[in-house]
Amino acid sequence: MFEKTLNDLVTGIRAHRRDTALYISQNIAQIKEELKSSDLFVKANALEKLTFLQMMGYTMSWAAFSSVEVMSSPRFALKRVGYLAACQGLDQPDKSPVVLLTTNLLKKELRGATVGGSGENMYHAGLAINALSNIVTEDLGRELLPELLHLLNHPSPYVRKKALLCLYKVFLKYPQGLRLSFDKIKLCLEDAHPSVVSCAVNVITELSDKNPKNYLPLAPEFFKLLTSSANNWMLIKVVKLLGSLVPEEPRLARKLLEPLCNIVRSTHAKSLLYEAVYAITLCLQYVKKADGSQPSNIPGVVDLCVETLKGFVQDSDQNLKYLGLVGFGSLLQSQPKVLHSQSECKGLILNCLSDEDVTIRTRALGLLKFVTTKRNLVELITQLLRHVEAASGEYRCDLVEEIIRMCSSNKYELIVDFAWYVDVLVTIAGIRGIESQGEVIAKQWIDVAWRVLPVRSYAVRRSLEVLVCRGPGVAELVTDNKDADRHFLPEVLPAAAWIVGEYSHLIPEALMSSDGDDEVDTRYDSTSKGPYHALIQSMTSPMDTAGITLIVCNTQAVFVQNSMKVFAAACQRNLQNFGNHGMSIDGIECSDNELAACVDTLVKHLEVYMESPDVEVKERSFTFHQLLLSVGLPRTSTALFSSASLAVTCRNASPTLTYLLIPEPMKPISAKAQRRKLAEGHPSPLSVHEWEEDINWQAFWFLEDQTPWFSQDGSIKGTAESISFTKQQSASSDKISYGDGRSTGGMVRLRTDHIGSPLEGAENISFGSATKNFYSDCASGSSNAPPPSTRREGDPFYLSSVVPSSELMSPTQTGPGKLPLSSKGTKDAAGTTASRFGSIKLDSGGESDEGLTERRSDKKKKKKSKQKAAGVHEVRDVSSSFKNDFAASDEEDDSELYQPKRASLTKPGRAKEFENLALVDLTTPLGEHEVLPRNEHYVVPERPRKSEPKQEKAKKKKKDRKKKASKDYRPAEAATGDLLGFDSLGFASVEGTSGVSSAAIDKLNGCEWETLTSPTGSSNPINSAFDDLLGLEMPMESSTCLSNSGHAKGAIDSVDVHVRKEKKTKTKTKKLKKEKKSD
Amino acid sequence: MVCVHHAQLLTFPAHRNKQGQTRLSSYYEWMDMQERVALESEIIRKCLSRSELQCSFLEYRGFKVIYRRYASLFFIVGTKADIDVRALDGSGSIAENYENELGLLEFIHSLVETMDRWAGSICELDIMYQLEQVHFLLDEMVMNGYIVETNKSNILRPIDLIDRESKKTEGMFR
């Protein structure tokens, strides 16, 4: 039968274009058959085909054993096929048991190179070295390291350089070997043949990548190479190596500059030129002298770099352009300002942004942050925004990320006009395809809104637009061009909602500031009665713009909360107009109609939300619904009530709503104060009872009769134990239906998470210190705090903008609707009622800085006091959450805003693989116990020497036994035997040679020797079978051992070898004893 | 397409043709077969989508891919990527060795020239039909990922030797 050759296979595959897979699977079946053949030619042919298929993506690990068989063919042509198959097709070498089988084969080949001296052996060895570098494992490395090292002295450079390169791979798997053999590698640096030197440089470069410290002593030699060599390939490596040493030894940086500059000036090879410039940029980071001054030649060097790199970027060759940009990136790490004066370079980089190659664009983008200044930021960003429109895919995200990074870097140091930045953010939020950036944009938005007081109302306005524009709006009726920008990133919606809710008192102001020409369309849909109503409509609609997709639950929760805040603001608005506040603003005041519509929408939609499957949404909506009922608003339909009467009810409820819903503005605490607070440790324990005195009971006028355990002045009748749930239910169920435990929890947590989890970062900023500005009696308690105005200026939290607005800056923005409350006396009362609730400790309790905490806790408390029995443990929860808030200073928050996501990319997964190698320390001298592992015959002391022939026999018998035992391997084994020409060698020569070897070694130790195989190999029957066969070559082995590693000192050996030897000895002696008996 | 996969220097050399079929590939770092197939097809797709005007470097999945096109054959070398400039905050970069991109382009060219000298004008079929020899040639040039020899005569010497020897002794089989 004639087998298909590789050519047939290739032709066949090309002929079967339709059903390639089928054809290939047929062929694989055929190959499997052929591999069973005993003819090596057939096997080799099959392997060759398989190698081809492997390249096409078919695994061939199942043929590993066959590859080993073919590898052992004496014919070079077949052997090559076997080695190739092993290199390409072996399964992960560490896991493949077949690799062990190659140990002796490879050893034989490596040794073969040293004898005979004919050309052919050299190539055999080359093949083996190549294979070894591909399949090396730790065991293999340990076994073959001596042979490889020996080959470093081979007369032919061909073998020398191959062995040298292979060593690196061996060290990767067997790091201990590095210490033992590094001296030899160093010698290779002085090799007569330049290609060997080049390989040595290669190996050391790679090694120094793992642990540069080890190779610092070699720096002078490399320096010599750098200045003397003319081989560009090697110079590139040398330059690289020296570059990697620089961080370890900064003094080297200054020394290197001169020769590197010489190379830059003289070389014609672009690759070397680039390499040298890149190395200079690395060095520049370390040239600072100990006293902080720069060497005098630095400006010249920098100029040279800039010129060269500029040449690269200007080049029409895209490759050079790319490298130029990479080089600039490295240069700017040390000289960030260098481009500010080079307007030409700036232009070049900007041009690269419009390059059609995305690789180049991405690189240029990375450089942009170095060319931005306060002056050109606006222009640059405008340009970038245009690029965003045109870009696609990941690059679009990169662009947006870069825009935000440029703007927000260093606490917005480049931004002059924050209103402009808000506009930019809104624009970005409307772009499709950058979902991954949504969170960052949302954070920025909120950050700007609360840290930059002057643009706060503007931010409210833009947020309002965003929210209202979501609706079907009038646009749908009119069908103008507004449809285009209706899309907003889902992540920014909660941010917008939060801003509108938190600063809802600014809504009128925000609307007023629109100057006629770009009037905000405040209609959510055709039924909207006014801005407040539109907002509430927008935020309580459970569907998105088109009414198709549901808004995510987190957003819903934030929406519900903030729609209530807006509603509270609307009620308050009317109250102001009714009162003597005077500021009547046309078109913005909240009319009775609008208020009624708000109530209607709220009640209707909250009921929908109450059915939500999401706990958070359900809880919040339920709570608010109950709140609305409890202040006297109708349960379901508002149709029965006139809008006027509804409005009156709302206005009456305004104090309550304001008190509950409109928060104190969050205020920063200076980092110092926070640290002081933390240093103080736990504050003294407070009891729940203390807060009751601070509660504004007037806000809860409607509760008077229904809460029998409170007296009118707010003190509690009776104790917590006397409060009963059943009683509470029956008492309040007619007006406030606290039907179940869930509502209780809801009320308690009313103000805790006023914003959903997407905005967690927002909560990290601490607040509360400034509260005392508004409550002077509280402030008097802590005299060390500076007056409010100076605090504001000195506080790094607030950022200023060009729009001066003293009115806004004034601390009176809390709004007149606020009801004063006092935290005075909380301390005095400490302890008096502590017994009542055991020891409830509030970590956040404190005097001045936690003003808001107290206030918030007050609210908790208030509700708690209504259902006190339920909530004792809740207090603890609240306190711990506040503790977290206080732990984070705003500085930290800033720095965490933009951790580059790419950081993980710089450490690729394979770094772990090199860990061991990096741990090797070459700086300490070798200890006595550190010697190369050697293959030795082991000693069987109690046996007389004359039994040697028997031993051979015994081996033979053992082999036979094993053959019987393992049927699976049988054919393979037989074949191996053939390959090695076992028969032709004959027994006479075997005995003769082993006799010689043992006689020779006997002189040293006076003992008998046997072959020692690879440690793990002893468990493998096949392998030991190989041992027997391959052991025949022993005389050569022992001679190399002797010459190579000083056999005379054989008494000293590494511990593990000893152990192995002992084990082996034991088993051997047992077997031998058996043999004796049978004899 | 030729794909040199080279852990340190070349992560994979692969020749690929215009349809994106691999004609020769050699990896110097072990990689799972599925991952390998996926990687190859992704990379060739990216390469094919690029025009002559674009630069020969790609950054993909932590690899730096350097490719060069000769007629319908792509020669692709993958190597580990250098550090992303944007990931550094200037606090001190680690000097990490990566290969010189231009050097690798040179290497590809030298590989092609060597192949040309060996087989006249190299074409796809030459590579496919004499896969084993091409691998041998590549192994002479690159050893476990490092360029070990760039001199054409040195590279071809053993191959010539082998050819001569095999003609002499075993005409029947080869």
Q: What is the pLDDT of residues A748-757, one digit of tens each?
A: 333 333 433 3
- How high is the pLDDT of residue A146? 82
Mean pLDDT, chain A, as a whole number? 65
Tally C-beta pairs within 8 A across A and B: 188
pLDDT digits (tens, 9 = 90+) for A560-588: 888 888 888 888 776 555 443 334 444 44
pLDDT class for A715, splitting at 50, 70, 90? low
pLDDT of residue A200: 85
Using the predicted structure, report yes or no on whether residue A1049 has a pLDDT greater than 70: no
- State the pLDDT at residue A703: 58
- Confidence class for position A683, pLDDT limits 50, 70, 90: low
Q: Does B37 touch chain A (CB under 8 A)?
A: yes
81-100 of A, contacting B, C-beta below 8 A: 81, 84, 88, 92-93
Question: With an 8 Å Cβ cutoff, is B26 touching chain A?
Answer: yes
- pLDDT value for B132: 80
For A884-912, what is the mean pLDDT?
A: 40
Domains and CATH numbers, chain B: 12-165 (3.30.450.60)
Which residues in chain B are closer than 8 Å to A316, comparing Cβ atoms? none
Q: For residue A723, is pLDDT > 70?
A: no
Tokens representing A462 are 């833009």
Q: Model confidence over A71-105: pLDDT tens digits?
A: 887 777 788 888 888 877 776 666 677 777 778 78
Q: How far apart are CA A615 and CA A609, in angstroms?
A: 10
**Beta-carbon contacts of residue B111 (< 8 Å; ≥ 6 apart):** B2, B13, B75, B138, B141
Chain B CA closest to residue A901: B87
Residue A21 has pLDDT above 60, yes or no: yes
Residues near A974 by beta carbon (within 8 Å), at least 6 away in sequence: A38
* pLDDT above 60 (res A311): yes
- The answer to whether A52 contacts chain B (CB < 8 Å) is yes
Per-residue pLDDT band for B98 (boundaries 50, 70, 90) equals: low
Average pLDDT of A17-35? 83
Summarize pLDDT for A934-988 with one digit per residue, the tens. 555 555 555 554 444 444 444 555 555 554 444 444 444 444 434 444 444 444 4
Measuring CA to CA, which residue among A969, A965, A1018, A1027 is closest to residue A65? A969
Q: What backbone phi and psi angles, to 5 degrees, belong to A46?
A: -60, -40
Measured between CB atoms, which of B21, B84, B101 is closest to A906?
A: B84
Nearest CA to A602 out of A694, A538, A680, A506 is that of A538
pLDDT tens profile A784-795: 444 444 444 455
pTM: 0.60
pLDDT band at B85 (very low <50, low <70, confident <90, very high): very low
Q: Around Cβ B10, how many Cβ atoms within 10 Å?
A: 30
Average pLDDT for residues A854-882, to the nearest whole number?
Answer: 43
Q: What is the mean pLDDT of residues A536-556?
A: 68
Q: Which of A976, A1019, A1030 is nearest to A67 (CA)?
A: A976
Q: Tell me how far apart the alpha carbons of residues A388 and A398 are, in angstroms, rounded to a whole number.
A: 9
Helices A890-897, A438-451: inter-axial angle, 10-degree rounding: 150
Q: Write the pLDDT tens digit of every residue in B44-78.
A: 887 777 777 777 777 777 777 888 888 778 888 88
Give me A815's structure tokens: 């709004």
Q: Sorting pLDDT into bands at 50, 70 and 90, what band is A996?
A: very low
Per-residue confidence band for A812, with pLDDT thresholds at 50, 70 and 90: very low
Residue A805 has pLDDT above 50, yes or no: no
Lowest-pLDDT range of A411-415, A429-433, A663-667: A663-667
Write the burial class of residue A72 (CB in 10 Å: 0-12 exposed, 13-18 middle, 19+ buried).
buried
Option in A84, A336, A356 nearest B53 (CB): A356
- Percentage with pLDDT > 90 across chain A: 0
Cβ contact A309:A348 at 8 Å? no
What is the number of other CB atoms lying within 10 angstroms of the CB of residue A806?
A: 7
Model confidence at A639, in pLDDT bands (50, 70, 90)? Answer: low
Lowest mean pLDDT among A169-173, A254-258, A683-687: A683-687
Give residues 740 to 769 of A whose Cβ lies within 8 Å of B.
Answer: none
**Predicted pLDDT of residue A827:** 40
pLDDT band at residue A781 under the 50/70/90 scheme? very low
Sorted by sequence, the CB contacts under 8 Å of residue A608 that are 6+ apart come out as A542
Instruction: Please tell me what DSSP assigns to residue A754.
Output: -
Whether B15 has a pLDDT exceeding 70, the answer reads no
Cβ contact A285–B93 (<8 Å): yes
Biggest distance spanned by C-alpha atoms of chain B: 68
Cβ of B88 within 8 Å of Cβ of A333? The answer is yes
pLDDT computed for residue A1073 by the predictor: 58
CA-to-CA distance for A864 and A876, rounded, in angstroms?
Answer: 12
pLDDT band (50, 70, 90) for residue A1036: very low
pLDDT of residue B54: 73
Q: Which residues contact A526 (CB under 8 A, 6 or more apart)?
A: A474, A477
* Among the partner residues A6, A55, A330, nearest to B24 by beta-carbon distance: A55
* Cβ(B39)–Cβ(B72) below 8 Å: no
**pLDDT tens-digit series, residues A148-199:** 888 888 778 888 888 888 888 888 888 877 877 888 888 888 777 888 888 8
Contact A267, A279 (CB under 8 A): no
Token digits of residue A442 = 């949302």
pLDDT above 50 (res A1023): no
CB proximity A244 to B under 8 Å: yes
Contact B53/A233, CB-based, under 8 Å?
no
Among A508-517, A624-633, A764-773, B150-159, the range scoring the smallest mean pLDDT is A764-773
Q: Is the pLDDT of residue A828 over 50?
A: no
Q: Is A776 at the interface with chain B, CB within 8 A? A: no
C-alpha span between B101 and B79 (Å, rounded): 9
Using the Cβ of B52 and the Cβ atoms of chain A, whether some distance falls under 8 Å is answered with: no
Q: What residues of chain A lie within 8 A of the CB of B144, using their CB? A: 130, 133-134, 165-166, 168-169
Please give the share of chain A, as a percent, with pLDDT higher than 70. 53
Look-up of token digits 């944007």: B86
- pLDDT over 60 (residue A872): no
Residue A521, pLDDT > 60, answer no
Per-residue confidence at A822, pLDDT binned at 50, 70, 90? very low
What is the model's pLDDT at position A1055? 38
Q: What pLDDT score does A831 carry?
A: 39
C-alpha span between A917 and A304 (Å, rounded): 37
B171 in reach of chain A (CB within 8 A) = no
ipTM over 0.85: no
User: What is the C-alpha to C-alpha distance for residues A265 and A261, in angstroms, rounded to an integer?
Assistant: 6
- Looking at the DSSP bridge assignments, the partners of residue B27 are B5
- The highest-confidence range among A860-869, A1001-1010, B153-162, by mean pLDDT, is B153-162
| Contact: A10, B26; criterion CB under 8 Å | no
Q: What residues of A are in contact with residue B100 (Cβ under 8 Å)? A: 236, 240, 271, 274-275
Residue pair A207/A227 in contact (Cβ under 8 Å)? The answer is: no
pLDDT score of A1002 more than 70: no
Question: What's the pLDDT at A91?
Answer: 64
